[in-house]
Amino acid sequence: MADLIHVRRTCRLCDSPDLVCSVKLAEVPIVSPNVGTENDPSGQRLTRIVAPLDNYLCQKCGLNQL
């Protein structure tokens, strides 16, 4: 399976690599009936794939982005 999550290392507006983490947030699970779900031994559904939500500030153009 192809990677579901890609973390950019450059600004999505100006393509500068000069990004700093401006807000660090907890990862969140991707909730979809089609992605990364399995049942644990008791039959409960598990969501095993999480996505990062950290915000990054571009030092060149000022864009704040996920």
Taking the least distance from each CB to Zn ion, the nearer of 5 and 14 is 14
Contact region for Zn ion (CB under 5 A) — 20-28, 33-41, 42-50, 51-59? 51-59
Q: Provide Rg for the chain, Cα atoms.
A: 16
Interface positions, 13-32, toward Zn ion (CB under 5 A): 13-14, 16
Query: Is 10 one of the binding residues for Zn ion (CB under 5 A)?
Result: no
CA distance 38 to 31: 12
Query: Is 11 one of the binding residues for Zn ion (CB under 5 A)?
Result: yes
Question: Collapsing DSSP states into helix, strand and coil, what is residue 46?
Answer: strand
